[in-house]
Homo-oligomer: A and B are copies of this chain.
Amino acid sequence: MTTARSNDAPTAMIDRVASLLQVFDGGHRFTLAEVSRRAGLPRSSAHRILGRLVDLGWIERRGFEYALGIRMFELGSQVVRRDGVHQAALPHMHALHRSTGLTVHLSALQSGDVLHLERIGGWPEKGEGWRLGARQPAVHSAAGRALLAQLDDADWPALSYPPPATPGGVRTEADLRREIDRVRDRDGVAVDAEGCSAGVTAVAAAIGPSEDGLSAALSLCGPATAVPVDRAVAAVRRAATDIWYAAFGVTRLRGRPTRPVHAALPLADALTAVARG
């Protein structure tokens, strides 16, 4: 009986649950009245749905406020944990962070943004956009441009051009195409000098051609005054290649064994000292 009735309007109900959870995007806490208003749901429905979501652990209630619950975190963290590229990337990311002192991100294109799937390193401590699970506009980010450069222009997602952090940043599609040409000239490695955040330089490379849709980029970021760009370019390119080999289980064609990334990096100790502050 329930089956027959629910089948009539399942998507309507899913959309209600979705619009309700969407309210919490950004990680805030809201009262019932606020949730109801922001989700555009009658207060009674919002209350009933919230109650069930609290039982499930998807939403948690503290006093009169609601927020996303720990179960969302737990389910969500499995999304990246099951990914082969993420698994293959982790040891290389740790090695790269140890040897350079710079922060290492693994990021994927999501609509017109890059979304950070993994992050190793504490710098920058502030800067919401650099956090694990946060987004940055693809056009401003080194990782985004490395991923766009790998695609045919016809396959680009819809891109937005919010104001860059500094005057030299990408403002128009023409600016972006110039940057993408540079990435392609640099054999796929993108460099961004303060396009996302003033004071932050980032260097990124896409991780190989992937057959299964999720294409990720590896990037290094550090203080604009301290990143030795040429060496960072070489380090990121090498690590991205190594991760691709590790993820797809292909034997290297070179006649010598693959060196661990951290043994191959000449990035300055001085830099480490600066970035670790």
Residues on A close to B: CB < 8 A?
Answer: 2-3, 5-18, 21, 24-29, 42, 44-45, 48-49, 52-53, 56, 58, 62, 67-70, 72-82, 90-91, 94, 98, 108, 110, 115, 117, 120-122, 125, 131-135, 212-213, 276
Contacts and interface: CB of A to CB of B under 8 A. Distances in A.
A81 B132 CA distance: 9
A241 to B, nearest CB: 20
Contacts of A8: 5
A175 to B, nearest CB: 27
A200 to B, nearest CB: 17
Contacts of A79: 27, 67-70, 72-73, 76
Given A10-B48, A14-B49, A56-B18, A24 B68 contact: no
A130 to B, nearest CB: 12
Most buried by B among A11, A78, A110: A78
Contact of A74 (B11, B76, B122): B76
Most buried by B among A2, A14, A131, A213: A14
A14 B18 CA distance: 10
A212 to B, nearest CB: 6
Nearest to A13: B13
A32 to B, nearest CB: 15
Contacts of A110: 70, 74
A159 to B, nearest CB: 18
Contacts of A67: 79, 82
Contacts of A78: 24-27, 68, 133
A21 B108 CA distance: 23
A125 B95 CA distance: 12
A79 B52 CA distance: 18
A116 to B, nearest CB: 9
Contacts of A76: 68, 72-77, 79, 133
Contacts of A80: 73
Nearest to A131: B81
Nearest to A79: B73
A75 B25 contact: yes
Given A2-B9, A5-B8, A52 B14 contact: yes
